[in-house]
Amino acid sequence: SQQGEEDPQALSIQEGENATMNCSYKTSINNLQWYRQNSGRGLVHLILIRSNEREKHSGRLRVTLDTSKKSSSLLITASRAADTASYFCATATISGNNRLAFGKGNQVVVIP
Amino acid sequence: KAGVTQTPRYLIKTRGQQVTLSCSPISGHRSVSWYQQTPGQGLQFLFEYFSETQRNKGNFPGRFSGRQFSNSRSEMNVSTLELGDSALYLCASSAYPGQDLLFGQGTRLTVV
């Protein structure tokens, strides 16, 4: 079963705007990861945040984690057309023996 | 460093046939995971191997099998192919289970 569930499922924004996606999960995690996928290609790892971390940055990306609410958010600031992709959250859980379970993904379209 | 290499990239098979997909992980990575991606089901976990041992297995029928060799290369096999097996099969590697995954470009399997 899917552990992570992203919200919203699809997002369309203008270039330069910020894009925010949320991910909720059900069981306790060791870490949560965000990935990007362009048009049916392999996924690219973006950020890993551990269960004892609350926020992490990488370039224009900011990830937050709220373990009490079992949720995470991914913020892309100053979006570019090249950010158009599907974004997935994935969780590594103790109960799942640390295998990564992916959500269904968010489709983000950045309009130039 | 060479990336995760999956072969072949594209494959067309007929129902009832069998297929073997190959994955060569990043040098030094000992953990290999396989995922099936379809538009309807998203990313579904197939298996995870670490040091030639299957650590985790997803909810797929016994027609789906895999293995890992001493050089960490992995293969997955699907026997008695069905139309519903048409999908993008993604392989990913990491140094250890639960860490960030590096994905290959995938094998696009079409069953006709």
Span B36-76, pLDDT tens digits: 999 888 899 999 999 999 999 999 999 999 999 999 999 99
Rounded to the nearest angstrom, the minimum Cα separation between B31 and chain A is 10
Average pLDDT over residues A16-43: 92
* pLDDT above 80 (res B1): no
More confidently predicted of A40 and A58: A58
Say how far apart CA B97 and CA B105 lie, in whole Å: 20
Contact state of A105 with B43 under an 8 Å Cβ cutoff: yes
* pLDDT above 60 (res A1): no
- pLDDT recorded at residue A46: 96
Contact state of A42 with B101 under an 8 Å Cβ cutoff: no
Measured over the CA atoms of residue B91, residue B94, residue B100 and residue B104, the dihedral's sign is negative
Contact state of B43 with A88 under an 8 Å Cβ cutoff: yes
* pLDDT above 50 (res A86): yes
Say how far apart CA A80 and CA A110 lie, in whole Å: 6
Chain B residues in contact with A34 (beta carbon < 8 A): none
pLDDT tens digits, one per residue of B12-29: 999 999 999 999 999 999
Contact B109, B85 (CB under 8 A): yes
Interface of A with B (CB under 8 A): 2, 30-31, 33, 35, 40-45, 48, 88, 90, 92, 96-105
More confidently predicted of A81 and A103: A81
Mean of the per-residue pLDDT values for chain A? 90
Rounded to the nearest angstrom, the minimum Cα separation between A51 and chain B is 12
* pLDDT above 50 (res A2): no
Average pLDDT over residues A39-62: 93
Collect all residues with Cβ–Cβ distance below 8 Å to A68 and sequence separation of at least 6.
none
Searching chain B, which residue's CA lies closest to the CA of residue A106? B42
For A84-97, b/e burial (b = at least 16 CB within 10 A) is bbbbbbbbbbeebe
For A43-64, b/e burial (b = at least 16 CB within 10 A) is bebbbbbeeeeeeeeeeebbbb
Rounded to the nearest angstrom, the minimum Cα separation between B98 and chain A is 5
CA dist list (Å): A105 to A5, A57, B16, B71: 8, 20, 32, 33
Phi/psi for A87 (5° steps) reads -120, 130
